[in-house]
Amino acid sequence: MKTNDFETMYVAGLQEAEALAVTVADGLTELYPQADDPELRETLRAHAIDARENAVRLKSLLNCHGRLLDTDVDGSVDALFALARHAMTTTARGPLRDMALISLVQRIEHHEIAIYGTLAAYAKILGRQDEKVALGAILEEDRATDEDLTAIATRLAQPFPRVSLERSLSVAAA
């Protein structure tokens, strides 16, 4: 698709975000049962539901524009979900595997945050206040999920030994 104006670029971004939300919902629905930590499993399950609802919200925003474009599909999130599925089969169950899952899901969250933040800014520039508010709400949900995942990872990391700086330096000097 050749983009010739800002409005078209914005609508293409909304379409990309809607497709992303479906991908995230499907991917998390597949992965959350594999989390061992109950809080992590619930956080991922809840985010899968939120992502599905976001797809509906984004479809509604797209309907306001009355057109669908021939847009490119961003495969980066699919690749991150493939890495997450691989990590689930190659990492021992327990906190370490849950932390690997969190790491990959947070990469996806950061991708979502970037897209929704950009689209909210575009909506503001275009004077579409209602759309800016809707996109801003999705952005804040994703930021909150990211913070929840960080807190869970921090808790899960507690039992892992920490190598002291002195020991690291002495090993490096040897």
Span 16-46, pLDDT tens digits: 999 999 999 999 999 999 999 999 999 999 9
CA-closest candidate to residue 37, choices 173, 124, 152: 152
Q: Computed from CA positions of residues 93, 98, 103, 105, in that sequence, does the dihedral angle turn out positive or negative? A: positive
CA distance 11 to 154: 38
Q: How far is CA 135 from CA 66, 157, 173, in A?
A: 18, 33, 52
Residues 146 and 109 sit within 8 Å (Cβ to Cβ): yes
User: Of 106, 118, 114, which Cα lies nearest the Cα of 147?
Assistant: 106
Two tokens, residue 134 = 């809707």
pTM of the model: 0.87
Tokens coding 101? 């899952």
What pLDDT digit, counting tens, does each position of 103-149 carry? Answer: 999 999 999 999 999 999 999 999 999 999 999 999 999 999 999 99
Higher pLDDT, 69 or 133: 133
Domains and CATH numbers, the chain: 6-158 (1.20.1260.10)
Is residue 165 scored above 50 in pLDDT? no
Within 8 A by CB and 6+ apart from 154, the residues are none
Taken as a whole, the chain contains a residue count of: 174
